[in-house]
């Protein structure tokens, strides 16, 4: 083999090496750019604006999670700890008991606990809550609106195209900064997750 043929082989080998290196750098750049952009802009997460919510019940059925990642949150700062809670009891209830036939929630996700006469505390069992918003509607109609629907970010996959947001008739879903992910009405500190 003469020297020019030897140089051609080396140059081809060098060309392939450089091409592989360039491909790796371009690939890493393509992967890194979204992360750098996300860090620069701040991570955004899906959340429901309770002031726009119509309590249609689609959060329970449209989410890819089963049960839904949309849950009822209780803003304790707003709660009156009512004996007759509009979010807990059916409107036609004659007896204030914890019997299933008196409860508004179809999955018994709201737990009623006696505090002192005439006050009761209501807690949401997020494992049972399906995000149907029946209790939220009842609380808003007969109470002070301390029960509100929110996306639970411990459960949400934060899909790029949120199925619930696409199906929401009130356009109540929006992207919010992950540093301030909860839009709870009537509460000063929106970062506090009430459950």
- Each of the 195 residues of the chain gets a pLDDT tens digit; together they read 566 666 566 677 777 777 777 777 787 777 665 555 454 457 999 999 999 999 999 999 999 999 999 999 999 999 999 888 999 999 888 888 888 889 999 999 999 999 999 999 999 999 999 999 999 999 998 888 999 999 999 999 999 899 999 999 999 999 999 999 999 888 764 444 444
Are 1 and 57 contained in the same domain? Answer: no
Same domain, 68 and 154: yes
Residues 6 or more apart in contact with residue 10 via CB below 8 angstroms: none
pLDDT, residue 150, reads 96
Together in a domain, 21 and 90:
no
- Coil, helix or strand at residue 60: helix
Q: What's the rounded Cα separation, in Å, for the pair 10 and 54?
A: 70
* Residue range(s) defining the domain that contains residue 33: 1-41
E-state strands within the chain: 44-48, 70-74, 110-116, 119-124, 147-151, 173-177
Is residue 4 in a domain?
yes
Does 7 share its domain with 92? no
Domain annotation covers residue 183:
no
Q: Does some domain include residue 70?
A: yes
- Based on the domain organization, do 82 and 107 belong to the same domain? yes
Examine residue 99 and say whether the peptide bond preceding it is cis (omega within 30 degrees of 0). Answer: no
Residues 88 and 154 in one domain: yes
- Burial of residue 10 (number of CB atoms within 10 Å: 0-12, 13-18, 19+): exposed
73 close to 193: Cβ distance less than 8 angstroms: yes
Q: Is the dihedral of CA 90, 185, 127, 97 positive or negative?
A: negative
Same domain? 37 vs 57: no
Whether the model clears a pTM of 0.85, i.e. scores above it, the answer is: no
Report d(CA 36, CA 165) in Å as an integer.
26
Residue 28 and residue 64 in one domain: no
Does 188 reside within a domain? Answer: no
For residue 71, what are the β-bridge partners? Answer: 150
Length of the chain equals 195
Task: Clarify whether residues 37 and 55 are in a common domain.
Answer: no
Q: How many domains does the chain have?
A: 2
The pLDDT of residue 94: 85
């Amino acid at each position: 083999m003469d020297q020019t043929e030897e140089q051609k082989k080396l140059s081809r080998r060098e060309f392939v090496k450089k091409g592989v290196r360039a491909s790796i750098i371009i690939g890493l750049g393509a992967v890194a750019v979204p992360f750098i952009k996300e860090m620069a802009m701040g991570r955004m997460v899906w959340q429901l604006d309770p002031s726009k919510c119509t309590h249609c019940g689609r959060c329970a059925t449209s989410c890819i999670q089963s049960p839904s990642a949309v849950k009822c949150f209780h803003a304790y700062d707003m709660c009156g700890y009512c004996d007759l809670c509009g979010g807990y009891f059916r409107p036609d209830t004659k007896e204030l008991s914890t019997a299933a036939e008196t409860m508004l929630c179809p999955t018994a996700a709201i737990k009623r606990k006696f505090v002192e006469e005439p006050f009761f505390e209501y807690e949401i069992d997020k494992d049972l809550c399906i995000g149907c918003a029946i209790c939220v509607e009842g609380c808003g109609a007969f109470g002070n609106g301390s029960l509100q629907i929110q996306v639970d970010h411990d459960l949400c996959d934060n899909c790029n195209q949120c199925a619930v947001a696409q199906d929401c008739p009130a356009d109540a879903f929006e992207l919010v900064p992950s540093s301030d992910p909860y839009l709870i009405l009537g509460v000063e500190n929106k970062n506090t997750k009430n459950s």
